[in-house]
A and B are shown apart, each in its own frame.
Chain A
Amino acid sequence: MRQLDRALLWLVAPPAIVLTALPAHATQYLSTEQAQRALFADANRFEPVSIAVREDQRNELKKISGTRTPLPLDRIWRAMRDDQLLGHLIVDEVYGKHEFITYAAAIDANGAVIGIEILDYRETHGGEVREASWRKQFRGKRSSDALELDADIVNISGATMSCKHVTEGVRRLLALYDIALKGR
Chain B
Amino acid sequence: MLRRAKPLLGTLVEVAVSAATVELEWRAAIAAFQAVADVHRLMSFHEPDSDVTRLNRYAHTRAVEVDPRTYAVLRRARDLGRASNGRFDCAVGGRMLALGALPRTIGVGGHEAATWRDVTLLPDSQIRFRRALALDLGGIAKGFAVDQAVEALARCGAEAGCVNAGGDLRVFGDRNWPIAIRRPEASGELVPLAPLRNRALATSAGTFAPGGAIVDPATGRFRTRPKSVSILAPNCMDADALTKVVWLAEHPPLDLLERLDARAIVLGPSASVSESVSELRRAAG
Interface residues of A (CB under 8 A from B): 1-4, 6-22, 25, 27-30, 38, 98, 115-118, 121, 123, 125-126, 150-163, 166-167
Contacts and interface: CB of A to CB of B under 8 A. Distances in A.
A156 B10 contact: no
Nearest to A118: B5
Contacts of A160: 11, 166-167, 208-209
Contacts of A29: 3-5, 14
Given A125-B189, A157-B202, A159-B167, A118 B6 contact: yes
Interface stretch (B53-61, B69-77, B90-98, B275-283): B275-283
Nearest to A17: B192
B179 A21 contact: no
- Across chains A and B, which 8 residue pairs bring their CB atoms closest together, nearest first? A158-B182, A125-B188, A13-B194, A163-B7, A118-B5, A160-B166, A157-B203, A158-B203
Contacts of A4: 252, 254, 277, 280-281, 284
Interface residues of B, number: 61
B177 A155 contact: yes
Contact of A22 (B167, B189, B193): B189
B186 interface: yes
A159 B230 CA distance: 11
A26 B277 CA distance: 29
Given A125-B187, A163-B7, A155 B179 contact: yes
A15 B205 CA distance: 23
Contact of A30 (B4, B178, B182, B276): B4
Contacts of A152: 178
B183 A158 contact: yes
Nearest to B276: A11
B145 interface: no
A21 B83 CA distance: 39
A154 B164 CA distance: 11
A3 B257 contact: yes
B236 to A, nearest CB: 10
A167 B10 CA distance: 10
Nearest to B258: A3
Given A8-B277, A154-B190, A159-B205, 14 more contacts: A3-B264, A18-B272, A18-B273, A19-B190, A27-B5, A121-B12, A125-B187, A155-B171, A158-B203, A158-B228, A159-B167, A160-B166, A162-B10, A166-B7
Contacts of A116: 6-7
Contact of A7 (B11, B228, B263, B272): B263
Contacts of A14: 194
A154 B167 CA distance: 12
A18 B271 CA distance: 11
B180 interface: yes
Contacts of B3: 27-29, 153
A14 B179 CA distance: 12
B264 A7 contact: yes
A135 B280 CA distance: 40
B19 interface: no
9 contacts: A7-B264, A17-B192, A115-B6, A117-B6, A153-B178, A156-B180, A156-B190, A158-B181, A159-B203
Contacts of A27: 3, 5, 14
Contacts of B187: 20-21, 125-126
